Structure 1
């Protein structure tokens, strides 16, 4: 091949890892997209490769479920209330929190079910014997490192702590994999589930995928948009950009705070009336 001949995508890929290029991630993405356009690699493969590359650059804080959205077991509740909560939420693992917010352990649904079936769960103390030690990870840990640790330890969930050692959220192996392959829907993900729930700090936690019709019915608003179906889309159009995590604003007499956003999409808001008027449940 002469010096003037255009290099193939494989030549460029080899050159990329030769140490001569500075921004490897950006150039590798460009090579992948060019290869897709030439039908050298299909779109699904490019999507997943880009996801893998993204995970190598992301931190736990970018994919975790924030504390405000965690479903936890309150250690102060009675046994029957805890069992009812496990049955209603249908998760496989639950952090157990004390009144002061400290983590007492992790409760696995399969352990509880096994104890119930064997008639070994009639007192609160018996439930406490089922607590497993929590796995704690810092917000700053890289996702690819966490994924390797999940695989090696066979743990599927870790609790995330901030720089002060306070509980900041949780992350599961599914959360990490979704950054690579997109949203994973299982048998417990009901498309018509309630996307609006009371927030522990007041107001309501609202998923960005909540349909406008459902949002209007709940908050007694009349937001209309012929092009958009969800509140997340309406908010993005209203602001003119994808809102950042922690960003606050008012719209239609409601106060919004972004609970979770990764810069590419917004996941959830805390919504309350600007005049602090509560809805009767």
Structure 2
């Protein structure tokens, strides 16, 4: 009879130990999701984990109670079987049994499969907490008193909210639960707070617009052969910006031969300016709030540095809208099997995104800036330098900058032949 009671106490001890580990190692976000879908065990577990001190108090009360009873029973059994020496035998035997069957095994099992243990246990703990609430309250109050003497407040405990870096780790380690392309999109959204609008803008010298100071036939010719939906209007210089005109608004006037400079300026919308250090995530909201799709990036002196569009920001999230890497960034061309001719004004971020390179982005933003920072001068054509694992050879310089450079990236390891259908 005593053996049966002892075995029952050991089973209860295993239950308390295992369920404690299971409840404390539950994925809180999955548990909340299941609770919202009406899962009974998850609902009860979430409710109890909102006040973990009560749950821990109940578990410790039950676990210590059954362990003490088991110890007393083992001692009685040992004395009956072996006399006074039975105390030593029962202590050693009970310690081994408790460690193996009531601690290590159930806790390991619960750590591996927390939901299978925790949710059924929640059904048991809910009524137990009501029955033993007076004792739990007494012990918790005593514990809080000790914490107060140590100047520790339970209210100061860290919440379960995740920082952006922790969330990045969760997305990265999600594995097959999140498709690889969706992972890349989520990580790109997190990266947006670390990038400014100047990282994605079209440089000033590459802005395509209409110079209204030119003769009307030249302006009309440019309008007819233009490939852009929206065009900036400026007077002599891009710094004298007059507005943005949508090509669709001019189609009828052009077809009826009724368009002139006055009509063109009247159709233009006032320009929208963006400070160069604006984070991408903030500018995405600004575009939405201002009902804009295009803006001019200005520095602290108000000088136009480039042009940014809503599409540029969206490409940071979903990737480029083309499948050929060499068409994703302008002024880059293949020059041999593992060599590229790159314009000095090309943004490093664009190269990394389009070609999968890992050039440093924490300093200069263009290839010219990266090279001149490394050499601390404008190198002569033919000069070679190595930045990380990338070899740069200066091809052409002029106008106080590196105009063209040949880049040789490190050779990639050969992979097994397989078809990547991720892009559909």
- TM-score, with structure 2 as normaliser: 0.45
1:117 Cα shift? 2.5
SS of alignment partner, residue 404 of structure 2: strand
Instruction: Quickly say closer, same or farther: Cα 1:31–1:128, change in 2 above 3 A.
Output: same
Structure 1, gaps ≥5 residues long: 196-205, 213-223, 260-268, 273-281
Aligned to 2:274: 137
- Specify the structure having the higher radius of gyration (Cα): 2
Instruction: Quickly say closer, same or farther: Cα 1:53–1:117, change in 2 above 3 A.
Output: same
How many pairs align? Answer: 223
Q: Deviations over 1:111-153 (max 9, x none)?
A: 22232124321x3333222222111111122222222232233
Which residue of 307, 317, 331 maps to 1:207?
331
8 Å Cα contact 1:178-1:184 kept in structure 2: yes
Greater relative contact order (CA < 8 Å, ≥ 6 in sequence): 1
1:231 and 2:341 correspond: yes
8 Å Cα contact 1:9-1:35 kept in structure 2: no
More strand by share: 1
Aligned to 1:52: 189
8 Å Cα contact 2:394-2:404 kept in structure 1: no
SS of alignment partner, residue 159 of structure 1: strand
Structure 2, gaps ≥5 residues long: 1-18, 34-156, 343-347, 352-356, 372-378, 384-392, 406-424
Which residue of 297, 310, 317 maps to 1:180?
317
- TM-score, with structure 1 as normaliser: 0.65
* Distance in 2 between residues matched to 1:124 and 1:190, nearest whole Å: 39
Q: Deviations over 1:251-276 (max 9, x none)?
A: 2542399x9xxxxxxxxx8339xxxx
Which residue of 387, 394, 397 maps to 1:255?
397
1:271 and 2:404 correspond: yes
SS of alignment partner, residue 267 of structure 2: coil
Instruction: Quickly say closer, same or farther: Cα 1:126–1:11, change in 2 above 3 A.
Output: closer
1:35 Cα shift? 0.8
Cα RMSD between the aligned structures? 3.8
1:157 and 2:157 correspond: no
Aligned to 1:113: 251
SS of alignment partner, residue 231 of structure 1: strand
